[in-house]
Amino acid sequence: MDYLPLQIPIKNKKCIVFGAGNVAFKRTNRLLSCGAEVLVVAPTIGEKFRSVKGNLTLIEDGYKKEYIKDAFMVAACTDNPSVNEEIYERGLEIGAIVYTADEMRPESVVFPAVIDRDGVIVSLSSTGAYPLLTKYLKEKIEAVIPDFIDESFISTLEEYRRKAIETILNEKERKLKLASFLEELIKQGDNDE
């Protein structure tokens, strides 16, 4: 496995998206949904970007390396491969996380397909090899996740786990209690559906 699947807190982090096409729009929305501070830079930016809510700044301009300064993440989503390569190289130079839309590069990250059920997050990727496979798997997995797994369900589990950690000092016993509680909650949810 060449990629480490992990979830990174990105709230209030500076993220730059170069380009204003469909892929740039999807990446911008994903970053904003995670609370990032997003700057979109492109020679022409359409209306769909102007209607987006969130911590978003739009600059109609071409790529300039100054825009990347202090970026946590850089997304090269232009229709120009040489510009995307330059963005990729500059992003790596400053230590940013770099995504390239046009082709996989050795140190480019992947935006996975995501299922977000109010605290349960499942991400899927074919590491760019075949995105339609990822879409297919996402649909299949979404169909089997019960509707009762929601924010309230997760909050109940989180509260029980917090109390168990505080009160059940024996780790083996605590794991058994946590598993039993989860099973009971799932049975209850299944019966309510």
Q: Answer whether 40's CB lies under 8 Å from 17's CB.
A: yes
Whole-number mean pLDDT of the chain? 93
Per-residue pLDDT, 117: 84
Please list the residues that pair with 18 across neighbouring strands.
Answer: 41, 76
Distance CA 66, CA 74 (A): 12
pLDDT tens digit string along 21-39? 999 999 999 999 999 999 9
pLDDT tens digit string along 145-185? 998 998 899 999 999 999 999 999 999 999 999 999 999 99
pTM for this model (two decimals): 0.86
pLDDT tens digit string along 108-151? 998 999 999 877 899 999 888 888 999 999 999 999 999 899 88
Q: Answer whether 49's CB lies under 8 Å from 27's CB.
A: no
- Stretch (H or E) spanning 184: helix 171-192
Q: Is 87's pLDDT higher than 90?
A: yes
Q: What are 75's two structure tokens?
A: 């997304």
